Amino acid sequence: PVFAKRASPFRYVGPKRYSQPGLRIDQLPTLDLVLLSHNHYDHFDIESLGKIGNGPRYILPLKNGTLLEKAGISPDQYEELDWDQSLSHGGVTITHVPSNHWSARTTKDRKEMLWGGYILEFSDGYRFYFVGDTGWNERLFAEMGEQYGGIDFGLIPIGAYEPSDFMRNAHTNPEEAIQIMQVMGIKQALAIHWGTFVLTAEPVDEPPVRLASARKDAGIGENDFIAAPIGATRFFDGKTNHQTNDLPETKAAQ
């Protein structure tokens, strides 16, 4: 949940927001759970988290709790997880899983705090995967596919990938996002991590165009991996894994 104008520790310097949030922070519904993948500024905004406050329960990677407390969040309201560690919340099993990324808030704390993604398994067996930020790593995802594969719905990043020689170990491009979908056995996916902040060199509107091409090449249906416009609403049927409605005029958080 990042509502800042810049992904930066500074007010007037750093990557500027390209798209406005689908909802203002004061329009958010009551939140039960907040999942934090890592502590980069485009994913962990202290001011936004402070405004959300102590209502929801927060799940975050190891050693990030003190940073959350700077947002005014009580230690009683959050849980830190190691990779492959799980907990239960309201009948949902939440497992923190690895990703090929890194963490840092300053020039002196690189990789001192953990990062990753989350798999949520509901009581009826429905499985949801928030990949988090990651670069493509064939060995990592092959191992994870064996351990956790078979996902009903996934949030997969597709942006911030150029120049590739510099970014490939941190972010997936659309073709690599398709590989994650295939290796992890994800039945249906929504593209994330594009069009919000201008972080890298590719055109800001390129990721969904490349995704459409990669999806076609892989024989994946248009509604099985979508890149919805920022601020759009999509409804999904968790039992059939098919899109049931399309209301782009309805505002919702991306």
Count of domains for the chain: 1
Q: Is the pTM of this model over 0.85?
A: yes
Q: Which long-range contacts (CB under 8 A, 24 or more apart) does 222-225 make?
A: 223/188, 224/187, 224/188, 224/189, 225/156, 225/177, 225/178, 225/181, 225/188, 225/189, 225/190, 225/191
Residue 8: its pLDDT value, please?
93
Check residue 239 and give its pLDDT.
55
Rounded alpha-carbon distances, angstroms, from residue 144 to 66, 84, 95, 98:
29, 10, 12, 8
Does the residue 7 lie in any domain?
no
pLDDT at 36: 98
Using 50, 70 and 90 to split pLDDT, how confident is the model at 250? Answer: very low
Is the pLDDT assigned to residue 164 strictly greater than 90?
A: yes
pLDDT 10s digits, 39-80? 999 999 999 999 999 999 999 999 999 999 999 999 999 999
Structural domain includes residue 35: yes
Q: Is the pLDDT of residue 240 over 70?
A: no
Domain that includes residue 101, residue range: 25-247
CATH code, 144 = 3.60.15.10
Q: Is residue 91 part of a domain?
A: yes
252 within a domain of the structure (yes/no):
no
CB–CB of 213/227 below 8 Å? no
Q: Is 121 within a domain? A: yes
In a domain, 4, yes or no: no
pLDDT of residue 248: 36
Side-chain-side CA neighbours of 233 within 13 Å: the count stands at 9
Instruction: Please check whether residue 185 lies inside any domain of the structure.
Output: yes
Tell me whether residue 6 is in a domain: no
Mean pLDDT of 128-150: 97
Residues 6+ apart with CB under 8 A from 75: 65, 69
